[in-house]
Structure 1
């Protein structure tokens, strides 16, 4: 079987669609998006009614109907098992979905796999588990590459380091290269948000923007175990305060003419700092919407990696043997 044309994607743990949107920007068409959270599924349907959103447990999803039809199996599998903000139970955490990703790769046999997670997965304590993941994909005929990418290097006004796993056939991996970083393209928090801060009549917005002259810390606070919508633990709140942002809660609306002291972010502001376009809407109330934003993979980063995978597939095509029929 030759390479799938056009580019098609099967998205797992799709969340609010950050990765799916980025892959759409890179030219992929989504055959299906699998997501457990009802609010996130509603967000996907709200923004892309034509997408095939499969709401349910990934462990019950059967990939065999998609076998031979998918260019890219992609997903942001749950980060809690590896996050420094949690217990880091890894494979012993029942939220770990790497085994399901490997299972689905075997069922679907895509041209490529791209999985995203937190930087904690690269800690020495998880070396053996990374080797286990790599061995699972290797048994299916893929080579695996790992890389920590920072969102700021791809135009996102936020640091947000994320681990990306790419699994490709050996001849395609020989053509693959990680996207080139361009940190100078990322605006500061002030540059990114000044129009929103000023939109309610706050006269101090421009002065605030001049002081918010760095990129944002990682947007966090997306856990369901977290009490409400704020910008994370004490250390994160201090980093936000240095940018002139009160991180103790999110606001329902932009600052008004009578704004005093440090402003709060709105969900829309947080989404812009994640690289979402302003046209992307979030279903659910403020806390649910912010959790979706906080857990998202920035679309520009997904787009950058997705393009590199597509280019490697095209470059390898003349050299490739036809894949065996499935």
Structure 2
């Protein structure tokens, strides 16, 4: 029996971290919506066959996709809930959770997956989380929240992410959150030694041996502050403990005569996020790094996406059995 591929509509698609993960999980993208021109160019550069729409999500209408989408997925902006920001939540003009609820009503997917920062679980947002949950429940979905550490799924940084999964009631019993990988995530040194040595730096091996833990969470994705560096003072201290100078990003790997702590390049940061090395980023260094800093690591998206994929397929099999009786 030929099985029709499951389809997804992705919002706030960014540079494609979640899209790559969902692709690996077996979803075909019917549409990806993103407002940032650099991220749009990144998506089109790497996957010219994808249907990428540059638009403000508030202006996007998902009604034409009604009945055609299995999964609505996306990462609404994290800054309204981030500990690194003001945490204005629903009062921040970047909050797009209400739009995600509206689009779900318009396209009526089988499932929804949204990711955000750990701050969304803070007690101060309890009422707002209930508003989000209630919005999806009113549309007929069963809602689950969970906090996943990216390092549990092979990504060499902690990067805790809050995940909302909303499923049609007949699919919810088959859904299970992904189990942590049996293999520990690689260290920063193991992940980046070859890139650090690419410019001829003789100290790369010794550096890698000292960078023997996973990375702190990569930050720096906000357009309202900062440039191409590794975040606030506390983040820079954590990077320094790994032998990395976090005050700026380098254009290239350290050369033969390099002395002192090396800087990361955008490519190194992207690898720490779980992007494949052949994934190119459009725009100059700061624009590229913001795309990396905002990304949902592909391996984590793949792990959750695979569980949603299994749940939908299980529901389809049950419907087929019921129809055959």
Normalising by the residue count of structure 2, what TM-score does the alignment of the two structures yield?
A: 0.96
SS of residue in 1 equivalent to 2:171:
helix
Name 1:246's counterpart in structure 2: 245
Question: Equivalences for 1:118-267 in 2 at 5 Å?
Answer: 118-182=117-181, 184-267=183-266
How far apart in 2 are the matches of 1:288 and 1:35?
Answer: 15
Counterpart in 2 of 1:89? 88
2:114 matches 1:115: yes
Matched, 1:313 2:322: no
Unaligned ranges ≥5, structure 1: none
Provide runs of 4+ in structure 1 moved above 4 Å.
none
SS of the aligned residue for 1:229 comes to: coil
For this pair of structures, how many residues does the alignment match?
319
In the aligned structure 2, how far is the partner of 1:58 from the partner of 1:321? Answer: 36
Structure 1 residue 92, shift from structure 2 partner: 1.0
Shift of 1:89: 1.0
CA deviation vs aligned residue, 1:15-50 (integer Å, no higher than 9, x gap): 000000110111111011000000000000000001
8 Å contact from structure 1 (residues 196, 254) kept in 2? yes
CA distance in 1, matches of 2:4, 2:307: 16
- The equivalent of 2:283 in structure 1 is 284
Alignment correspondent of 1:99: 98
Which residues of structure 2 form unaligned runs of 5+? Answer: none
- When normalised by structure 1's length, the TM-score is 0.96
**Alignment match, 2:76:** 77
| Corresponding residue of 2:34 | 35
CA contact (8 A) 1:155 1:183 kept: no
Give the match for residue 13 of structure 2: 14
Query: Residue by residue, what CA displacement relative to the aligned partner does 1:109-134 show, whole Å, maximum 9, x if unpaired?
Result: 00100000000000011111111111
CA 1:64/1:21 → structure 2, altered by over 3 Å: closer, same or farther? same
Partners of 1:223 and 1:102 lie apart in 2 by 24
Q: Distance in 2 between matches of 1:170 and 1:153?
A: 28
Tell me, in whole angstroms, the C-alpha distance in 1 between the residues paired with 2:226 and 2:91: 25
Following the alignment from structure 1 to structure 2, what is the Cα–Cα distance between the partners of residues 134 and 102?
10
Shift of 1:317: 2.6
Contact 1:137 1:143 in 2 (8 A): yes
Is the Cα contact below 8 Å between 1:152 and 1:183 reproduced in 2?
Answer: no
Cα distance in 2, alignment partners of residues 63 and 220 from structure 1: 31
- The corresponding residue for 1:60 is 59
Distance in 1 between residues matched to 2:46 and 2:92, nearest whole Å: 32
Instruction: Please give the alpha-carbon distance, in whole angstroms, between the structure 2 residues aligned to 1:157 and 1:28.
Output: 25
CA–CA separation in structure 1 for the residues paired with 2:57 and 2:142: 24
Give the match's secondary structure for 1:107.
helix
Shift of 1:266: 0.1
SS at match of 1:45: helix
In the alignment, the residues of structure 2 paired with residue 36 and residue 16 of structure 1 have an alpha-carbon distance, to the nearest angstrom, of 11
Deviation per CA, 1:196-252: give whole Å up to 9, x if none: 001111111000000000000000011112232000000000000000000000000
Counterpart CA distance in 2 for 1:220 and 1:113 is 26
Q: Partner residue of 1:271?
A: 270
**Aligned-partner Cα distance in 1 for 2:243–2:134:** 47
